[in-house]
Amino acid sequence: MKVLVRRFEELSSMRFQVSGRIGIITLHRPRQRNALTQEMWKTLERWCDTIPAKTKLLIIRGDGKDFTAGSDIKEFAELSPDAANEAFETMEGAIRAVEQLSIPTIASINGPAFGAGFILSLACDLRIGSENARFGMPVGKLGITLQTPFIRRMMQILGPSRTKQMVYTALTYDAKQALQVGILNELVPDQSLDNSTFALAKKMLEQSQASLSAVKQSVQLVQDGEAEAERSWVHPGDFVEGVRAFTEKRPTRFIMTQGASSSISHSGGRHELSQRIDRN
């Protein structure tokens, strides 16, 4: 799959690129297992808050062999308990910014996702992983007391018992186990992860963006236990086009997604795509 990308913003430790209507955030600290520093968390939140208007879907991925090991623990060694609490609030702000994006999000997980990195993946709408994906929450070894926002995200996927087990025993899920318990939506070979991620993104962009946004908002309302927003069961423009296309037995031509697939074509595998993304 060939993906044409252009730089939106790039730092030494992470980059934001755009391919058509797809935004791509790559964590780029492979020697540190893509562990996020406080500045990286702040940058992630800022990028989510200022995402280009034409971007209709966001992919978060890790460079090298890891998705992310979570926060950089070496930074924590220099922090007082009060400063560490502030650091966790910074993490939560960034993760919440990802979670509350109005556009769909995909975590493309090429390797271990631990600690806050695991929570970051759970904040994405869908998770697609390779056979090298691993998930863990080893906070008991660090004296970290997980608070409600992190626990909520774990419970929504794992339920109360598995959430407790994961923390109580420092349990790690491998890729097959993660698929079985619902952490992963899709499991693919390592060499095809990037291709499969972009194929999934393309499929999502072919749908009515109004429908996807409405479902995302409704799911979030249910999860948060909030009151229902004013009901509107159909989007005026997309509903008319969707029904007409169905009755005419032709592909839909939603205005918001028209041309979304023009930047994506099939050829090559993960390494080719990674090189294309990383070179740009």
The CA radius of gyration of the chain, in Å to the nearest whole number, is 19
CB 50 within 8 A of CB 101: no
**Which residue type sits at 268?**
G
Same domain, 105 and 226: no
Q: Report the alpha-carbon angle 49-154-118, nearest 5.
A: 60
Domain membership of residue 53 (yes or no) is: yes
CA-nearest of 106, 135, 91 to 216 is: 106
Q: Which residue has the tokens 């318990």?
A: 181
Alpha-carbon torsion 143, 154, 89, 87, what sign? positive
Please report, for residues 106, 213, 266, the alpha-carbon distance to residue 207 in angstroms, rounded to integers and kept in the order given: 15, 11, 20
* Tally of CB atoms within 10 A around 183: 24
Same domain, 117 and 150: yes
The predicted pLDDT at position 266 comes to 37
Domain membership of residue 217 (yes or no) is: yes
Same domain, 115 and 129: yes
Same domain, 146 and 196: yes
Domain membership of residue 261 (yes or no) is: no
Same domain, 216 and 77: no
Same domain, 214 and 138: no
The predicted pLDDT at position 238 comes to 78
Domain membership of residue 272 (yes or no) is: no
Domain membership of residue 264 (yes or no) is: no
The predicted pLDDT at position 101 comes to 96
Q: Consecutive sets of 10 residues in the chain, 280 residues long: mean pLDDT of each?
A: 63 93 97 96 97 96 97 86 90 97 98 98 98 96 89 96 96 99 98 97 94 89 67 64 80 63 39 51
Domain of residue 230, residue span: 208-253
Domain membership of residue 181 (yes or no) is: yes
Domain membership of residue 24 (yes or no) is: yes
Same domain, 135 and 221: no
**Which residue type sits at 275?**
Q
112-114 and 126-130: which strand pairing?
Answer: unpaired
Same domain, 80 and 193: yes
Whole-model pTM?
0.82
Quote the number of domains for the chain.
2
Alpha helices in 105-235 (DSSP H): 116-123, 148-168, 175-181, 193-205, 209-224
What gap in Å lies between CA 4 and CA 17, rounded to an integer?
Answer: 10
Domain membership of residue 75 (yes or no) is: yes
Residue at a domain's end among 203, 225, 243:
203
Q: Which are the contacts of 254, defined by CB distance < 8 A and separation ≥ 6?
A: 207, 208, 209, 237, 238, 241, 242
Same domain, 191 and 223: no
Same domain, 153 and 33: yes
Same domain, 164 and 50: yes
Residue at a domain's end among 170, 203, 236:
203
CA-nearest of 57, 4, 7, 55 to 265 is: 4
Q: Report the alpha-carbon angle 198-203-206, nearest 5.
A: 125
Q: Which are the contacts of 204, defined by CB distance < 8 A and separation ≥ 6?
A: 57, 104, 106, 212
